[in-house]
């Protein structure tokens, strides 16, 4: 008896990577074929009625996947919604390219009405606080809350450190602090207003990364002597910029997050340049305190290291 040959998997469309169910049907894939492609790891279901090519999804980083979920929502609702919503909160923050730390991947929308969660889907949160035309921009074809409105909405929803990271970056990208303070003035008594006001009061656009923001926040919270951020120092090998510096003591504090070194240049070249930089600064009498992500959550150890470096 001849063994039965396994049924070959249907082929995915040659073009595109993100599809609605109807588009897959239009390419000859019925519901059973779609289910088989998902089961065998060729398709990934991002949300109800929207799929992505698994080969692409597997290659994407966490931030890119988070953005992909927003675009999947936009594609999935293209024919099921009148489009009267605006992407907001952390979804808008992602579309603006703002730094986000320790937040989920839910899709956030501003809406005129208040539809049920069942209608929106378990991966979507609807918000109904009114907005004006001036508080909406278009990014990549999507309606999104403005930079200032996005920062304000996020700070009203997130924790203080998450908010500070985002507001720092919003200011660095050109957000108007006075406008955000004006927005806060109209939100008296609302949940999250205290966090928003604290973030606006302590935000500093000189911060160049989420790690630098969290380092600064920890220094303040531990009541340590505050360094100056982004200090330029002249050495025999040229001028270098330090993340933080206590200039009178010649002590530098550097946040060594992985992305600082490996995002844009080959690893070997970057590490060589960093060694040259540190050697030149050390020759000029500078002492370094290097901080990694894990150090930000070892507060007693962090405080002891800083105090030891600052001790005469």
The answer to whether position 37 is within a domain reads yes
Residues 217/229, Cβ–Cβ less than 8 Å: no
Q: Exposed, middle or buried: residue 162 (CB in 10 Å: 0-12, 13-18, 19+)?
A: buried
The answer to whether position 275 is within a domain reads yes
Tell me which range, 182-196, 224-238, 264-278, is most confidently predicted by mean pLDDT: 182-196
Examine the pLDDT at 54 and tell me if it is beyond 50. Answer: yes
Backbone angles phi, psi at 99, to 5 degrees: -65, 135
Residue 284 has a pLDDT of 72
Examine the pLDDT at 147 and tell me if it is beyond 50. Answer: yes
- 69: which 2 tokens? 């979920």
The answer to whether position 168 is within a domain reads yes
Residue 262 has a pLDDT of 45
46 with 176, same domain? no
Over range 55-75, report the average pLDDT. 93
Examine the pLDDT at 312 and tell me if it is beyond 80. Answer: no
155 with 273, same domain? no
Query: Whole domain around residue 31: which residue ranges?
Result: 18-57
Confidence of residue 80 (pLDDT cuts 50, 70, 90): low
126 with 197, same domain? yes
Over range 283-296, report the average pLDDT. 88
CATH number of the domain within which 257 lies? 3.40.960.10
Confidence of residue 57 (pLDDT cuts 50, 70, 90): very high
159 with 269, same domain? no
74 with 51, same domain? no
Over range 66-84, report the average pLDDT. 82
Examine the pLDDT at 106 and tell me if it is beyond 60. Answer: yes
Confidence of residue 30 (pLDDT cuts 50, 70, 90): very high
38 with 138, same domain? no
159 with 292, same domain? no
**Which alpha helices (H) appear in the chain, and where do they start and end?**
21-26, 31-39, 54-59, 62-76, 89-96, 117-120, 147-157, 160-172, 177-185, 193-202, 210-221, 258-262, 267-283, 299-310
Q: Among residues 39, 57, 75, which one ends one of the domains? A: 57
Over range 100-119, report the average pLDDT. 84
Residue 240 has a pLDDT of 82
224 with 306, same domain? yes
Number of domains in the chain: 3
93 with 197, same domain? yes
Higher per-residue confidence, 252 vs 115: 252
Higher per-residue confidence, 64 vs 286: 64
Over range 183-196, report the average pLDDT. 95
143 with 67, same domain? yes
Find tokens 């690893």 and name the residue. 267
The answer to whether position 52 is within a domain reads yes
Residues 198/179, Cβ–Cβ less than 8 Å: no
The answer to whether position 246 is within a domain reads yes
Ranges 101-115, 189-203, 210-224: which has the least confidence: 101-115
Examine the pLDDT at 136 and tell me if it is beyond 80. Answer: yes
pLDDT digits (tens, 9 = 90+) for 232-285: 988 877 788 899 999 999 999 999 865 554 444 555 666 666 677 777 787 778
67 with 131, same domain? yes
| Mean pLDDT, the chain, whole residue set | 89
Examine the pLDDT at 82 and tell me if it is beyond 70. Answer: no
């Amino acid at each position: 008896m001849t063994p039965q040959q396994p049924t070959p998997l249907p082929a995915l469309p040659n073009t595109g990577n993100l599809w609605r169910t109807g588009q897959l049907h239009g390419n000859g894939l019925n519901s059973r074929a779609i289910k088989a492609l998902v089961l065998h790891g060729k398709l990934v279901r991002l949300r109800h009625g929207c799929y992505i090519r698994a080969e692409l999804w597997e290659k994407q980083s966490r931030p890119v996947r988070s953005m992909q979920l927003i675009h999947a929502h936009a594609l999935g609702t293209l024919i099921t919604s009148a489009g009267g919503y605006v992407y907001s909160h952390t979804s808008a923050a992602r579309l603006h390219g703002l730094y986000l730390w320790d937040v989920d991947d839910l899709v956030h929308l501003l809406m005129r009405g208040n539809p049920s969660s069942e209608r929106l889907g378990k991966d979507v949160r609807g918000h109904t606080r009114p907005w004006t035309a001036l508080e909406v921009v278009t990014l990549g074809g999507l309606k999104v809350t403005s930079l200032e409105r996005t920062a304000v909405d996020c700070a009203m929803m997130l924790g203080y450190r998450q908010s500070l990271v985002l507001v720092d970056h919003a200011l660095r990208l050109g957000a108007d602090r006075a406008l955000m303070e004006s927005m806060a003035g109209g939100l008296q008594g609302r949940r999250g207003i205290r966090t928003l006001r604290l973030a606006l009061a302590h935000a500093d656009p000189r911060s160049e990364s989420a790690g630098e923001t969290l380092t600064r926040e920890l220094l303040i919270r531990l009541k340590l002597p505050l360094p100056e951020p982004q200090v330029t120092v002249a050495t025999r090998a040229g001028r270098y910029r330090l993340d933080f510096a206590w200039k009178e003591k010649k002590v530098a504090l550097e946040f060594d997050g992985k992305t600082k070194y490996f995002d844009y240049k080959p690893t070997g070249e970057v590490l060589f340049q960093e060694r040259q930089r540190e050697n030149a600064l050390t020759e000029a009498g500078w002492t370094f305190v290097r901080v990694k992500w894990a150090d930000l959550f070892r507060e007693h150890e962090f405080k002891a290291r800083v105090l030891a470096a600052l001790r005469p």
